[in-house]
């Protein structure tokens, strides 16, 4: 199900879209570049943490699976900025903790142009999950 805001009529409504996701998902990160909606990680009842990255195009009602994250994550945020998706923190595994799911202080970066992920050397001051974010563009 997708929440749609129609700018022409200034109406907000729920619409059932047939091709939104291939399975139920909760606690995923969601962000947008203004055209596509990016859905990162999350969890399912049957498989646990996922490392998936999906893009959803609301105009064509199509979803695509992109390159998976290096680690499954849940309870994290996704942030779009200048052609990149950043996934800081969350609950899952990381380079520092490859064998156990736990809160993480690592930051994943997805480059949209070449469909690739990397784990940044910069880390958060401490592990976080269930957090929020905002971007301020100061020129």
Which pLDDT score, from 0 to 100, does residue 136 have?
78
Task: Please write down the HEC assignment for all residues of the chain.
Answer: CEEEEECCCCEEEEECCCCCCCCCCECCEEEECCCCEEEECCEECCCEEECCEEEEECCCCEEEECCCCCCCEECCCCEEECCEEEEECCEECCCCCCCCCEEECCEEEEECCCCEEEECCCCCCCCECCCCCCCCCCC
CATH for the stretch 2-119: 2.120.10.80
- How large is the average pLDDT for residues 80-89? 95
Q: Which of 23-32, 92-101, 110-119, 125-134 has the lowest mean pLDDT?
A: 92-101
- What average pLDDT does this structure show over 96-103? 77
pLDDT tens sequence across 44-65: 876 688 999 999 988 888 899 9
Tell me what the mean pLDDT of segment 55-83 comes to: 91
Q: Which tens digit of pLDDT belongs to each residue from 118-129?
A: 999 998 999 998
Position 4 confidence tier, pLDDT thresholds 50, 70, 90: low
């Amino acid at each position: 199900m997708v929440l749609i805001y129609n700018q022409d009529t200034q109406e907000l409504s729920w619409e059932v879209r047939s091709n939104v996701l291939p399975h139920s998902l909760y606690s995923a990160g969601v962000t947008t570049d203004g055209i596509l909606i990016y859905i990162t990680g999350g969890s399912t009842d049957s498989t646990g943490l996922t490392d998936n990255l999906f893009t959803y195009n609301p105009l064509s009602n199509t979803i695509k699976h992109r390159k998976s994250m290096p680690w499954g994550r849940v309870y994290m945020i996704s942030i779009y900025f200048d052609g990149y998706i950043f996934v800081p923190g969350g609950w899952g595994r990381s380079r520092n903790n490859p064998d156990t799911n736990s809160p993480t202080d690592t930051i994943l970066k997805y480059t949209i142009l070449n469909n690739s992920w990397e784990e940044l050397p910069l880390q958060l001051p401490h592990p976080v999950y269930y957090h929020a974010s905002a971007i301020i563009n100061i020129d």
